[in-house]
């Protein structure tokens, strides 16, 4: 059931992200889903989403290479790091990964795809910072929404993941 849930969410997030880019809003949604999957369901699900997410996003978005893989791997690694932090229980602390995920997930892709020119570095950096601030605000709401649907389907939720890891480490 987790696989089906994540696959459906992957398709929805890809469509949303490509649709937003088509109207001029470049907010990276897929790093949020990869973080959620790696944190909630474990590293295999998080890293398992990296390849299909990168291919679906980049090729449907018109990129010739799946540059997103590099940023998405960093996002999955950050999720595992964040899961094993003891102080990361609060919903308000989600502003930290909310800021970090767009920077990790989008900046490398834009930098690699656009080249290492000064103007591209400045534009990509400005996009990453703006998306980071927006992500810090919106990420807790995305977690609540994904947890709502996951709980309705009888799946593990973000809030239960920390307790599961604590029980495993005892």
- In the chain, the domains with their CATH numbers are 2-158 (1.10.1760)
The whole-number average pLDDT for the span 121-133 is 91
Spatial separation of the C-alpha atoms in residues 127 and 121, rounded to whole Å: 10
- Give me the pLDDT at residue 26, please: 83
* Maximum average pLDDT range among 61-75, 90-104, 126-140: 126-140
Q: What's the pLDDT tens digit per position in 22-45?
A: 898 888 899 999 999 999 998 999
The whole-number average pLDDT for the span 127-156 is 91
| Whether residue 91 has pLDDT greater than 80 | no
pLDDT band at 63 (very low <50, low <70, confident <90, very high): confident
- Give me the pLDDT at residue 1, please: 84
The whole-number average pLDDT for the span 61-84 is 88
The whole-number average pLDDT for the span 96-119 is 86
- Give me the pLDDT at residue 39, please: 92
* DSSP assignment of the chain: -HHHHHHHHHHHHHHHHHHHHHTT-----HHHHHHHHHHHH-HHHHHHHHHHHHHHHHHHTT-SS-THHHHHHHHHHHHHHHHT-TTTT-SGGGHHHHHHHHHHHHHHHHHHHH-S-HHHHHHHHHHHHHHHHHHHHHHHHHHHHHHHHHHHTT---HHHHHHHHHHHH-
| Whether residue 52 has pLDDT greater than 90 | yes
């Amino acid at each position: 059931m987790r696989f089906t849930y994540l696959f459906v969410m992957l398709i929805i997030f890809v469509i949303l992200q490509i649709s937003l880019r088509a109207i001029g809003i470049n907010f990276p949604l897929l790093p949020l889903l990869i973080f959620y999957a790696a944190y909630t369901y474990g590293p295999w699900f998080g890293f398992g989403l990296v390849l299909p997410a990168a291919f679906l996003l980049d090729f449907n978005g018109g990129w010739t290479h799946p540059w997103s893989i590099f940023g998405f791997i960093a996002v999955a690694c950050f999720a595992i790091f964040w899961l094993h932090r003891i102080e990361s229980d609060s919903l308000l602390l989600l502003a930290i990964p909310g800021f970090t995920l767009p920077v990790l997930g989008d900046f490398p892709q834009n930098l690699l795809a656009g080249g290492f020119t000064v103007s591209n570095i400045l534009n990509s950096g400005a996009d990453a910072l703006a998306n980071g601030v927006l992500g810090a605000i919106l990420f807790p709401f995305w977690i609540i929404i994904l947890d709502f649907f996951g709980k309705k389907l009888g799946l593990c939720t973000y809030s239960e993941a920390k307790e599961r890891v604590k029980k495993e480490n005892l």
